[in-house]
Amino acid sequence: MATGGPMRMSTGPRRMSPDHRLLTLAQWASPGYPTGAFAYSHGLEAAIRAGWVKDAGTLRLWLRALLAHGSARSEAVWLGLGYRAGSAAALEELDALAAAFAATRERLRESRRQGAAFRQVTNAVWGFDLPEVMLPLAFGQAAHRAGIDLAPAAIVFVQAFVANLVSAAVRLVPLGQTEGQQVIASLAAACAALGKVAEAATRDDIFSNAFLSDIAAMQHENLEPRLFQT
Amino acid sequence: MPPRSFGTLRLSAKARGGRSVIDGFRCSGATKVAFPAARQALEAIVVNTAGGVTGGDQFDIEAAAGPGSRMTLTTQAAERAYRSQSGQARIESRLRVAEGAVLHWLPQELILFNGADVARRLSVSLEPGGELLLVEPVVFGRIAMQERLTRARFRDRIEISREGRPLYFDAVDMDGAIDRQLGQAAVAMGARAMASAVLVSARAESLLQPVRRALPGTGGASLLSEDVLVLRLLADDAFFLRKALIPSLEMLAGAALPKSWSL
């Protein structure tokens, strides 16, 4: 904001009504929330160039694997850990661990830059004092401070993650908007299953078996020409 | 039920007169070690006399490269993880790399048999200026016998820290019909062999592009920070994995690989 410090909400986070909490969550997960998500394809651009993802069917399977045992599942775990972190120091310690778990340099940048952007706007609008941490940690902690329940925060977050990759695919694959939305809708159950994963999350639950997705993210670093930063 | 096997190894190296020599060495149970004719580095070839691992087994390695020393650890043969009757096979390795030391962890493949249940952890603690190269090749099923992993569990963690701070962590947790999971495009597109490698070295940045050029289309490398290079590679089977891996591994090692790594 051009004038003065951050705007403090007259209603403190814990006093938000259920409707208010739902709208806050929808706002944070919206593609219009300025985290710059549209610039990142999470390596999908390289997977499409390699022919590993080429239509709605292969896109759906690719994303379903990320949700079942890949990076999208890990995002839900990090979100749960960020939600329950009791202090800025605990969040920063988780952030160092999350950075060590990053599969590639571009993945690290993708999550760091979006986390920094999310923190900046969320602190300014809601008067939080979130530290600068990777995106799912920041999102989880913000949800906690707003009194939003963990499971809905996690499933809405991972659906936004999926929707962002579908938007990237719509630009890169001959794939219609309607087909893209069908892909997102068909993954609703897989997204919803991550609510429980986020609630039960411990540090030992971080893993990723989506090897080729990680390899695609590595290959993206040398991809020319490219539309996306990752 | 086969008897439970265990094995332990404690090994440390120190620098003496421009070479690296054994500082401390003790092994027990099914773990034996061969020390081939010394080159510059202390090379240790770990042998599992039990011929493999199965449920209830426990194998532990602790190895330390002392200040300025060079140590290379490898295995005599691929490690077979057999069907587990009950419980999991636990493999724990802890490595320490002191200031100015170089440690290469270059085991041969872990081959998972159908019904295997393996929990493996490799943790490495680095001091400033310590250099590390590690590789972990895994083969999912006895491919030559057309075995498919319809039911198995594989948990694998790599934890590399420097001065107590996490530097590179990786975890895999595959459960159930692993063969079907490997068929998924985002996982392995049907490939049944996978290798991960990590180099922590001042040489990492200059090796990134040469290593990338040496990798096939199912491999990738990334520079996580200025001195941390990671590599991941998929291949149809153990032979193609080695064939694709050896050129980049030689670059990362900056030295000849142990004899066990020849094709």
Query: Is B185 in contact with A208 (Cβ distance < 8 A)?
Result: no
Q: Which of B171, B187, B224 sits opposite A211 (nearest CB)?
A: B187
**Count of beta carbons in the 10 Å neighbourhood of residue A44:** 29
Q: What is the pLDDT of residue B146?
A: 85
How far B163 CA lies from chain A's nearest CA (Å)? 13
Please count the residue pairs, one from chain A and one from chain B, whose beta carbons lie less than 8 angstroms apart.
105
Contacts of A206 in chain B (CB under 8 A): 169, 171
CA max distance for chain B: 54
Q: What is the pLDDT of residue A228?
A: 92
Q: What is the pLDDT of residue A13?
A: 54
Q: At CB < 8 Å, which residues of chain B contact A?
A: 155, 160, 165-174, 181, 184-189, 191, 194, 212, 217-225, 230, 232-234
A219 in contact with B, Cβ within 8 Å:
yes
Q: What is the 3-state secondary structure (H, E, C) of A12-66?
A: CHHHCCHHHHHHHHHHHHCCCCCCCHHHCCCCHHHHHHCCCCCCHHHHHHHHHHH
Q: How far, in Å, CA of A42 to CA of A218, rounded?
A: 10
Q: Within chain A, where are the H helices?
A: 18-29, 44-49, 56-69, 71-84, 88-101, 105-126, 135-145, 150-172, 177-186, 188-192, 194-199, 211-220
Q: How far, in Å, CA of A53 to CA of A216, rounded?
A: 11
Query: Is B187 in contact with A58 (Cβ distance < 8 A)?
Result: no
pLDDT along chain A (230 residues), means of 10: 40 74 98 94 95 97 98 98 96 98 96 97 97 98 97 98 97 94 98 98 95 97 92
With 70 as the cut, is the pLDDT of residue B204 above it? yes
DSSP SS3 for B133: strand
How far A221 CA lies from chain B's nearest CA (Å)? 8
Q: How far, in Å, CA of B8 to CA of B6, rounded?
A: 7
Query: Is A217 in contact with B173 (Cβ distance < 8 A)?
Result: no
Average pLDDT over residues B210-239: 97
Q: What is the pLDDT of residues A60-77, one digit of tens each?
A: 999 999 999 999 999 999
A66 in contact with B, Cβ within 8 Å:
yes
Q: pLDDT higher for B256 or A114?
A: A114
Q: What is the pLDDT of residues B15-45, one digit of tens each?
A: 998 899 999 999 999 999 999 987 789 999 9
Query: Which DSSP category does A201 fall into?
Result: -
Query: Is A69 in contact with B188 (Cβ distance < 8 A)?
Result: no
Q: What is the pLDDT of residue A66?
A: 98
Q: How far, in Å, CA of A149 to CA of B29, rounded?
A: 51
DSSP SS3 for A97: helix
With 80 as the cut, is the pLDDT of residue B1 above it? no
Position B227 confidence tier, pLDDT thresholds 50, 70, 90: very high
Query: Is A103 in contact with B194 (Cβ distance < 8 A)?
Result: no
A124 in contact with B, Cβ within 8 Å:
no
Q: Are strands B110-112 and B79-81 parallel, antiparallel or unpaired?
A: parallel
Q: How far, in Å, CA of B174 to CA of B139, rounded?
A: 13
Task: Please report the domains of chain A, with CATH numbers, ordered by start residue.
Answer: 40-220 (1.10.4190.10)
Q: What is the pLDDT of residue A2?
A: 39
With 80 as the cut, is the pLDDT of residue B151 above it? yes
Q: Which of A70, A103, A218 sits opposite B186 (nearest CB)?
A: A70
Contacts of B191 in chain A (CB under 8 A): 212
Predicted-complex ipTM score: 0.95
Residue A43 corresponds to which tokens in the numbers above? Answer: 């390596």
Q: What is the pLDDT of residue B39?
A: 74
Nearest-by-CA chain A residue for B168 = A100
B-facing residues of A in 37-56 (CB < 8 A) are 47, 50, 52-53
Residue A219 corresponds to which tokens in the numbers above? Answer: 């290959």
B-facing residues of A in 140-159 (CB < 8 A) are none
How far B178 CA lies from chain A's nearest CA (Å)? 10
Query: Which DSSP category does B18 fall into?
Result: T
Average pLDDT over residues B96-125: 97
Average pLDDT, chain B: 95
A108 in contact with B, Cβ within 8 Å:
yes
With 60 as the cut, is the pLDDT of residue B236 above it? yes
Query: Is B224 in contact with A102 (Cβ distance < 8 A)?
Result: yes
B-facing residues of A in 176-215 (CB < 8 A) are 206-215
